[in-house]
Amino acid sequence: MKLNKIFLILALLTLFSGCSPAQNEIIKTPNFIGLKVGEAQALAKNTGLNLQVVLTQPSSQYPIDTIISQDPEAGSDIKKGGFVKIVLSSGPVTVVVPNVIGKTFEEARKAILDAGLTIGKIEEIEVDTPVGSVISQSPDPDTIVTPNSKVDITISIGTFVVVPNVIGKSVAEAKSILESTGLVLYKVDTFDKPVEGAPSGIVLYQYPMPNAKVEKGTQVLLRVSK
């Protein structure tokens, strides 16, 4: 009878204590930082602990779904069966590369910097598009990249042609030659006085000068004999 009373008292003491001796066991908190969720869950189960995700945040150091911080810290005392609060990585911060094709250099520069990116290599090529406009970029528009990534751009410097020599030609001939080269006859002036030995209406002067390298579409001034 006395033994039954002793067992009853022990049972009541255990009940009112609120936990079993195993639940009161103090253990050291493992290091979960750097582990993937599955790995951390397995470690927590083997240790007799529980994990609680309290936050996800971007990280350039840890891949997505990797633990980047914990509370309590590794090595801290914790009751077996307790909860360890963890923060998961949502992966690196990313930005979308803006489309700067067709923009002027200044417009493109502003768009790239505003997106949190930097200007990379700048190449200039001759092409039949407006001078100073961006004709290509790398990475392509809408590419996902990390902040401060470089964006290379190629800028048009227009199409250049060599000015033909039309001195000694009639205005009609000169106009035809200029237009076939991609130039524009802007104006025809006449010398104030006749030029000795020069037939009337013959080109004696032109600007830009022959063999000059100019942008396609450049206007050419002619001056003819009186």
Question: Could you report the per-residue pLDDT of 31-83, keeping only the tens digit for each?
Answer: 999 999 999 999 999 999 999 999 999 998 999 999 999 999 999 999 999 99
Residue at which a domain ends, from 156, 179, 205: 156
Percent residues over pLDDT 90 in the chain: 76
Domain housing 111 = 95-156
**109 and 78 share a domain?**
no
In a domain, 31, yes or no: yes
Residue at which a domain ends, from 59, 89, 119: 89
Contacts of 166 (CB under 8 A, 6+ apart): 173, 174, 177, 178, 203, 206, 210, 222
The CA distance from 83 to 67, in Å, is: 15
Q: Indicate the pTM of the whole model.
A: 0.56
Percent residues over pLDDT 70 in the chain: 90
**37 and 56 share a domain?**
yes
User: Are the beta carbons of 80 and 28 closer than 8 angstroms?
Assistant: no
What's the number of domains the chain is made of? 3
In a domain, 17, yes or no: no
The CA distance from 146 to 129, in Å, is: 31
In the chain, % helix, strand, coil (3-state, to 5) comes to 20, 35, 45
**57 and 71 share a domain?**
yes
Measured torsion, CA atoms of residues 54, 58, 62, 68, in degrees rounded to the nearest 10: -30
